[in-house]
Chain A
Amino acid sequence: MSDKKNLKDFFNLSFYVRLAVIVVVILLAVFLYHYGMQHTVYVDNRTIEIDGESYRALDWAMVSVDGGEEQEYSPRTRREETVMRQKHTIHVVYEDDDFNEVEFDAEFTLPVNQRQIVLSLPALLAGLDQSQYLTEFVPMAQQLGLQRGGQAPASEAAVDTDISEADMFGDMTMDF
């Protein structure tokens, strides 16, 4: 009997109100995490090869992300866009092979856990899947394993100090 009463006392209105507040705060935290996360999108106009097929860089394009300022792209151009949230829009104006201006609009969703992402314009305009035109940007140093968790830098070759005075400056006659 007393156990039942204790349980009833525990699960009273204030318990449910507190529980609801905690749930709301957790949901708010999840929302803020997704809403406030900043991503760097590198809009890249380079010829790219995907699954053995080559997609040529655009000769000229004007690109704006999320209705922002339009920026001009020529082949091999890569520009950085800093964005918040996950869902974004991109507006591309480019010249096709017949020199006609074509407008292209698309929506894309950035992966949550990737902070730096490369968006390939040729792949986007070719109508490929999002997983193919959006790839994670991995800095060159990290690719080479020079950063945290990677291999230690290779030890330098020992300097041969046992050089005769005549050899110290090399073969000077070669310079002339």
Chain B
Amino acid sequence: MKKTVTNKDVRNFLANNIVPIIFVVICLICIPIAGYSGQYLVGQIITRIMRNSFLVLSLLIPIMAGMGLNFGMTLGAMAGQIGIIFITAWNVVGIPGLLLAAIIATPIAVLLGWFCGKMLNMARGREMITSYMISFFMNGVYQLVVLYGMGPVIPIHSDQVILPRGYGVRNTIDLINVRQSVDSYWQITIGGVNIPILTIILIALLCVVIVWFRKTKLGQDMRAVGQDLEVAKEAGIKVDRTRILAIIISTVFAAYGMILYLSNMGTLNTYNSHSQIGMFSIAALLVGGASVSKASIKNVFLGIILFHLMFILTPQAGRELMGQAQIGEYFRVFVSYGVITLALVLYEIRTRREKAESAKQLADMQKEGARA
């Protein structure tokens, strides 16, 4: 039997995918204006997928547990940065350095994730705004530690890291010793585009872990908690513990993702990198068609491709159109905030519509019952 596509289906498809559709349209308009070659664009997209995938993938588990977008992933990013600061100060280089940074970052990320999870359990129903505020609060603590603690309290004496006054970490740290060490370890070139095999393996491994995790007991518990808290509690699931674990796992993955990101970039912006990365990772996920309550691996990669394609294209398109690359820079920053806003508004509209529809169905059923 042939299925006919109704107007409602089209409307639903548009409503569910409005954000990716907008971005596809923006990119399609900008590609000819920017005038970049296909090879350059593919190379840039591959670089950015390798750089950001781990971070964006770390957002999936809290969404599965019904905790929305984890703005608290910046806590994990801070932990990753602390690991990177230590290995730079100790001059531990290459892949051993990155592994050591991951080992240092893990307990910090677990601790911060546990704290964030506890707080979010206290503010149930308002997880996103709470995690956003926690990230601001922790940013202050991080800055206190990094700006005043490192040097006199935490013994770091490397001139490469510490400011000339003897305490506090420099604003920018050159990560030349670990730069591209994962990407360049095993790399092949196809059509002039470098493809980092080891990074792809790591990202694929994380995807497999996430798919496998969904099928485990804990993963099933998280899905149950995400669907209905009360039902999950009635079923004997330790709801609070499950939610805390979701945030801890996300924070630890975010820490690893930040280490990979920084090794790819080759520079650490000590006081800003983590806050920027949280916002851009969430925006990328939403651009890929994810919502506050539903996200998949497919959304991650589509989001990174579209969002970063816009990042690459808009400055050049701005220069071609207006004679100023700065226009494109402004554009991409406000678009990332706009996307998050749009996704939150659409989620709220969709939730209300679903509630109204189910209420209408209930009312109809009651009417029919009364007639009978």
Contacts and interface: CB of A to CB of B under 8 A. Distances in A.
B121 to A, nearest CB: 24
A32 B159 contact: no
B326 interface: no
Contact of B92 (A25, A28, A33, A148): A33
Given A33-B92, A37-B90, A148 B165 contact: yes
Given A32-B97, A38-B93, A84-B94, 12 more contacts: A25-B106, A28-B99, A29-B100, A32-B99, A35-B96, A36-B87, A36-B94, A37-B91, A38-B91, A38-B177, A84-B93, A115-B91
10 contacts: A25-B103, A29-B100, A29-B104, A32-B96, A32-B100, A36-B94, A36-B95, A36-B96, A148-B159, A148-B166
Interface residues of A, number: 15
B140 interface: no
A116 to B, nearest CB: 10
A36 B103 contact: no
B103 A147 contact: no
A147 B99 CA distance: 32
A103 to B, nearest CB: 31
A148 B164 contact: yes
Interface string B137-162: 00000000000000000000001001
B99 to A, nearest CB: 5
A165 B286 CA distance: 75
B185 to A, nearest CB: 14
Interface in A24-59: 25, 28-29, 32-33, 35-39
B113 to A, nearest CB: 17
Nearest to B95: A36
B176 to A, nearest CB: 11
B159 A38 contact: no
A87 B245 CA distance: 43
B10 to A, nearest CB: 53
Nearest to B158: A115
B217 to A, nearest CB: 15
Interface residues of B, number: 20
Contacts of B177: 38
A-B interface, 8 closest residue pairs, ranked by CB to CB distance from nearest = A36-B96, A36-B92, A32-B100, A38-B93, A32-B96, A29-B103, A36-B97, A38-B91
Nearest to B100: A32
Nearest to B92: A36
A33 B166 contact: no
A142 to B, nearest CB: 9
A149 B162 CA distance: 12
A24 to B, nearest CB: 11
A38 B92 contact: yes
A149 B166 CA distance: 7
A115 B89 CA distance: 10
A88 to B, nearest CB: 15
A39 B91 CA distance: 8
Contacts of A37: 90-93
Contacts of A25: 103, 106
Contacts of A39: 91
A147 B158 CA distance: 12
Contact of B93 (A28, A29, A36, A147): A36
Contacts of A29: 100, 103-104
Nearest to A139: B159
B174 to A, nearest CB: 14
A148 B166 CA distance: 6
Interface string B93-116: 111110110011010000000000
Contacts of A38: 91-93, 177
Contacts of A35: 96
B255 to A, nearest CB: 14
Contacts of A149: 166
Contacts of A115: 91
Nearest to B104: A29
Contacts of A28: 99, 103
A148 B103 contact: no
Interface in B304-354: none
B102 to A, nearest CB: 10
A79 to B, nearest CB: 20
B370 to A, nearest CB: 57
B100 A36 contact: yes
A84 B97 CA distance: 11
Contacts of A148: 159, 162, 164-166
B159 A33 contact: no
A115 B164 CA distance: 18
Contact of A147 (B97, B100, B159): B159
A115 B92 CA distance: 10
Given A38-B92, A38-B177, A115-B91, A33 B165 contact: no
